[in-house]
Structure 1
Amino acid sequence: MHAPLLQPSSSPSLRGNNQGVLSAAASGLDSFITGQGGDLDRIFGHAGIDPEQLLHPTLSLALPNYCQVLEEAARQTGCDNFGLRYGEQFQPQALGLLGYVGLCSATLEQALINFAAAFPYHQHSTLIRLVDQGECYRFEYQVRHGAIVQRRQDAELTMGMATNLLRHVLGPQWAPREVAFEHRRPEGWQEHRDVFAANVVFNQSCNALLIPKQDVVGRAMPGHDPMLLMLVMDAIRQLGEATPAPDLLDQARQAIAAMLPHGEPALEALAQRLEVSEWALQRQLREQGTSFSQLVDQRRQALALGHMRQQRLSISELAPLLGYSETSAFSRAFRRWFGVSPRQWRSASLN
């Protein structure tokens, strides 16, 4: 292992840790929102983001706020495919350090490997991996933050970013073998097929690009620069590696969200996922001022509100996603949370 080439004190922009996502991920977002007819003050204000942060690509944005600003931009501009269009024009250079990790690599295959390896420093609470499937590489991506429910726009943006890294070398006509998204098929799904020039599937377990190996193995990167690669890899590590691991509550929220579609969560199953004993989990939750049942209820409430705002699922479709075996049980819980039935809430939100 070589010693770090940049020290944390060598530049003001490198002080502090990335505890969400580097603001380079939102490069040009303000002008893109304006181009789509959006009101920057309303959209950034609703998402709790200071536009000044976007001027400094190595500053950190909270990941929930970042995902929220994309969803809010889609809603307020009326552009349902906002993330897809933003990603379509997002070039690797605009990603800052992460983009140059790919661009400075020796080959396109190595660029994908380096990109996936560096991504956790660029963005936390996220699955990112390059899986060897024989004839193809499967580039997988999924936000795994317990507080984030709506993440469609971010997923489509990220798949567009990854595609553009490949097209930077292979040309604008290059197409993956297949593109997968975890969210439901949107109304304007034909645009996804046109943007990627490939088969696009929805309701999958993970967002992914299927990349033929023959397209990337041995393909030289035109901007290969080994010294600059070392510099940017060290810099991005310094920004991200010292970030503390998610606390127990956040880990529990993420695990509960993953368990709900499979039925009523159990304390024993949650403890196994978190690799702690049941009594230790209960004690730690109690010390945090909550309990297992409260945590499950809070997760259901947050997830229900997120899905209801998206207007994509019927009430009967939503209930099992929250672990309810009967729609009536979900309706009773929703009335307890918000004082109205799900149908009343949805009707009022449309007016």
Structure 2
Amino acid sequence: MLPRIRTATLTGYPELARSLGLDPAALMAQVGLDLADLAVRDRWIPAAPAARLLDLSARQSGCPDFGLRLAAARSLGTLGPVSVVVRDEPDLRGVLHLLATHAHVYNEALHLRQWEDGDLAVVEAWLEFGGPAPHDQALDLAMAALVGVVRTLVGSDWRPQAAAFARPPPPEVEPWRRLFGPGVVFARQYTGLAFPAPDLDTRVITADPSLRPYTQLFLRTLLASGVPATTAAPADLRPADVADVVEFLLPLGRQSMTRASRLLDVRPGELQRHLAEQGETFSSVLDTTRARLAERYLANDHHSLTEVSQLLGFSAPSAFSRWFRRQFGMSPTAWRRAARDGSGSGTPPG
């Protein structure tokens, strides 16, 4: 199978293309892609046509820094499920190791390798499409996105000491210098970033050590073909098994009974019956699981309410707040304040 990328990689493409006078739907059709696919962030599409799309867009718009501009629309969430794990790595070394080891989870064409050379650390990037495809814009996007991820995790002031690109020099290098710093060079043997080796020990500002065991469990279940290790045989199915699957699905926003049934290898009707026999419904398990996790996440001030709502699979913080008030009789902000003051009285449903 040819390498694929998540559609989240092209986040912001239609808007950027239109702003430059392009027709995104027509260009995507020209390379064999469908604009409608971008509405589903976790859909997989072939990587080579996506690279051709970036190259075609750069040429037709006369915008050689198209890939850099597209990277500006990226967020940590465009890494897909890996974003749930990478934010709790303890330091930059762990972040780069995770991104390099598990690049295939978010971009099957991208390869990263990190090593140290004396007092310098180097991250090299390359693409393998399984066939002919342009690399320049896709690598620009990947490198700019990597810098964005690092800045999100260790601080917005972080900048590589040098950035090397295998691509020919662009007509104007200023966009690259603004992003990567003055030490940008082109037409080199490889594409990569170099920075002081001590930066590898820089603490990740979003890391919560108490959550890392759970994010590592999430990663292991993700890599095990997306099926949680706790999956039980249908005859032995318990609400706790369903709760484990729900906890796995929540950060992905996929906490439906259909998806849970698929992971548990039972039909939705069977799942309903097993739960009913034990006095539960899928909705009750979902609410109980969310309530348990909400207490854990809100007890830690490192997580904003927006982040908590995303971890619990809500489409917006307002939806999370309404649900939380129904379950706990107070707002998330009030619960967090009460917990901080030692006067919290909210209890999960069940």
Instruction: Give the shorter-chain TM-score range.
Output: 0.5 to 0.7
* 8 Å contact kept, 2:3–2:129: no
* 8 Å contact kept, 1:88–1:157: no
Mapped to 1, the partners of 2:214 and 2:113 lie a distance apart of 23
* 8 Å contact kept, 1:102–1:165: no
Q: What is the identity, as a one-letter code, of the residue corresponding to 1:186?
A: P
How many pairs were matched up?
225
**TM-score if structure 1 supplies the norm length?**
0.58
* Aligned structure 1 segments of 4 or more residues deviating by more than 3 angstroms: 98-101
Change (3 A) 1:67 1:49: same
Shift of 1:101: 3.5
Report the RMSD for the aligned CA atoms in angstroms: 2.5
Name the counterpart of 1:107. Answer: 91
Name the counterpart of 1:78. Answer: 62
* 8 Å contact kept, 1:18–1:59: no
Mapped to 1, the partners of 2:27 and 2:222 lie a distance apart of 29
**TM-score if structure 2 supplies the norm length?**
0.58
- Counterpart among 99, 107, 119 of residue 135 in structure 1: 119
Change (3 A) 1:94 1:40: same
* 8 Å contact kept, 1:178–1:200: yes
* 8 Å contact kept, 2:79–2:106: no
Name the counterpart of 1:51. Answer: 35
Mapped to 2, the partners of 1:38 and 1:49 lie a distance apart of 16
Q: What is the identity, as a one-letter code, of the residue corresponding to 2:123?
A: F
Shift of 1:239: 6.3
Q: Name the SS for the 1:216 alignment partner.
A: helix
Shift of 1:48: 1.2
Shift of 1:191: 1.7
> Is it true that 1:229 corresponds to 2:210 in the alignment?
no
Query: What stretches of structure 1 of length at least 5 have no aligned partner?
Result: 1-16, 241-351
Q: What is the identity, as a one-letter code, of the residue corresponding to 1:237?
A: L
Q: What is the identity, as a one-letter code, of the residue corresponding to 1:208?
A: G
Mapped to 2, the partners of 1:177 and 1:98 lie a distance apart of 26
Change (3 A) 1:235 1:205: farther
Name the counterpart of 1:61. Answer: 45
Name the counterpart of 1:153. Answer: 137
Q: Name the SS for the 2:170 alignment partner.
A: coil
Q: What is the identity, as a one-letter code, of the residue corresponding to 2:85?
A: V
Mapped to 1, the partners of 2:85 and 2:12 lie a distance apart of 20
- Identity fraction in percent: 21
Change (3 A) 1:37 1:238: farther
Name which structure has the greater RCO, CA cutoff 8 Å, separation 6+. Answer: 1
Q: What is the identity, as a one-letter code, of the residue corresponding to 2:32?
A: G
Mapped to 1, the partners of 2:6 and 2:73 lie a distance apart of 19
* 8 Å contact kept, 1:126–1:143: yes
> Is it true that 1:207 corresponds to 2:191 in the alignment?
yes
* 8 Å contact kept, 1:121–1:239: no
> Any idea what the Cα deviations from partners look like across 1:216-267, whole Å, max 9, x if unmatched?
3041341443145235524653569xxxxxxxxxxxxxxxxxxxxxxxxxxx
Shift of 1:89: 4.1
Query: What stretches of structure 2 of length at least 5 have no aligned partner?
Result: 227-350
